[in-house]
Amino acid sequence: MSYQMPIFASLPVAFARGQGAWLWDTHGRKYLDALSGIAVCGLGHAHPAITAAICDQAGQLLHTSNWYQVPLQEKLAERLCKLAGMDNAFFCNSGAEANEAAIKLARLHGHQRDIFTPGIIVTENSFHGRTLATLSASGSRKIQAGFEPLVSGFHRVPYNNLDAVRQVAENNKDIVAVLVEPITGEGGVSIPDNGYLKGLRKICDDRGLLLMLDEIQTGMCRTGKWFACQHEAVLPDVMTLAKGLGNGVPIGACLARGKAAQVFKVGSHGSTFSGNPLVCRVALTVIDELEKGKFAQRAAQLGEQLLNKLKTALSGIAGVKDVRGRGLMLAVELDRPCKDLLQMALDRGVLINVTADNVVRLLPPLIFSDTEADLLVNELTGIVRSFLEKK
């Protein structure tokens, strides 16, 4: 019997320590980590600069309060805004909270323009978090069921469909914002057509809507740019970050630009832990290391290499529907549900993920070496083959 609420269907393994792209379980067995704690530990495990930053900061100051100035928070806001082309930042402790801030910002923006029931366009198969507002925004009945009444004001359209966005925006004068993932994460690693984000930008500009991009999974060099919207040279009005920003310490951010950066005033929003010296120090170190190691370029280059090798290795296997990816966000779509594949991978000492029932998702750390990438291709090919043969 466990004293924990049975929310997570955890695999029967616990890890005792990690190093780079490798984890050791409590029995001393070694695993190749191709998930990075779901795109969190981009710099891998036990990165010396991160460890040093945590230890040093813990010896100085962990937390004061946002009742006082937090110089590290100010510094992090500036670094992130300069990288993302944004104007200001609000920090929080998770991805859901970052999106919660974005949703509140959009609503307040509406109210400030005398739109008292502001609506936000969201997409099918999206994932924005598990709080009431963010699960309502998410395009997944599975995470909503049983939690009704949902938060209202979300208008759902198919992903990668500009006409649908245009139509909803035209027919509803209460729409104030569009919230989308540049590439869906939990929804199955769907990569929209080139021009999708540019098209959304244009619709938002034409109608005075806020373009809000959820870069919680795609941000921080994961897709081969600092932020996925940079593949299309699109600047959103609001961008949310979390996951890779802290390499394992809990931090999220909601960045805003232009008129969106003017919406929140003193007292509009807040959080006790948000942007404390510890998490800001770590996030600043993450940015330093990502810059020093040119990890955006590395993710692009290694991602392309991995994608090509996976395509070659998996081509012609009946049951493999698609192999796709951008940077180090990769997916192998099968023709059947494949949760059982996770245990098989675990038995072979490889950590991967299955999302949207039939999509094997790979989110290796950005520090992955060529050798580790080749090992992953070989192992995954074997795993997929034996999984498909078994059924």
Q: Which residues pair with 351 in a beta bridge?
A: 33
Q: What is the DSSP string of 11-64?
A: -S--EEEEEBTEEEETTS-EEEESSHHHHT-TT-BT-HHHHHHHHHHHTT-S--
Nearer to ligand PLP by Cβ, of 179 and 338: the residue is: 179
Structural tokens at position 273: 């832990």
Angle formed by the axes of helices 277-292 and 71-84, nearest 10°: 40
**Residue from 243, 264, 295, 309 carrying the catalytic annotation:** 243
Active site residue 15: no
Residue nearest to ligand PLP (CB): 95
Nearer to ligand PLP by Cβ, of 216 and 287: the residue is: 216
Q: What are phi and psi of 143, to 5 degrees?
A: -85, -10
User: In the chain, at which residue ranges do the beta strands (DSSP E only) sit?
Assistant: 15-19, 22-25, 30-33, 88-92, 119-123, 154-157, 175-180, 210-214, 238-241, 252-256, 320-326, 329-334, 350-351, 353-355, 359-362
Nearer to ligand PLP by Cβ, of 220 and 314: the residue is: 220
- Binding residues for ligand PLP, rule: CB under 6 A, are 94-96, 99, 127-129, 181, 185-186, 214, 216-217, 242-243
Min dist CB 28 to ligand PLP, Å, is: 30
Q: Which of 160, 157, 296, 275 is nearest to 218 (CA)?
A: 296
Nearer to ligand PLP by Cβ, of 33 and 181: the residue is: 181
Angle formed by the axes of helices 277-292 and 295-314, nearest 10°: 70
Nearer to ligand PLP by Cβ, of 93 and 358: the residue is: 93
247 neighbors 39 (Cβ within 8 angstroms): no
For 91, 233, 295, 308, the CA distances from 239, given in Å and listed in that order, are 12, 14, 20, 30
Min dist CB 36 to ligand PLP, Å, is: 12
Omega before 149 within 30 of 0, i.e. cis: yes
Cα 77 to Cα 363: distance, rounded to the nearest angstrom: 26
- Percentages helix, strand, coil for the chain (3-state, rounded to 5) are 40, 20, 40
Nearer to ligand PLP by Cβ, of 180 and 384: the residue is: 180
Min dist CB 243 to ligand PLP, Å, is: 6
Min dist CB 27 to ligand PLP, Å, is: 29
Active site residue 82: no
**Residue from 154, 214, 237, 309 carrying the catalytic annotation:** 214
Nearer to ligand PLP by Cβ, of 199 and 244: the residue is: 244
**Residue from 90, 127, 154, 368 carrying the catalytic annotation:** 127
Min dist CB 184 to ligand PLP, Å, is: 8
Min dist CB 240 to ligand PLP, Å, is: 7
Please count the other Cβ atoms lying within 10 Å of the Cβ belonging to residue 75: 14
Active site residue 243: yes
Angle formed by the axes of helices 370-390 and 295-314, nearest 10°: 30
Q: Active-site residues: which are they?
A: 127, 214, 243
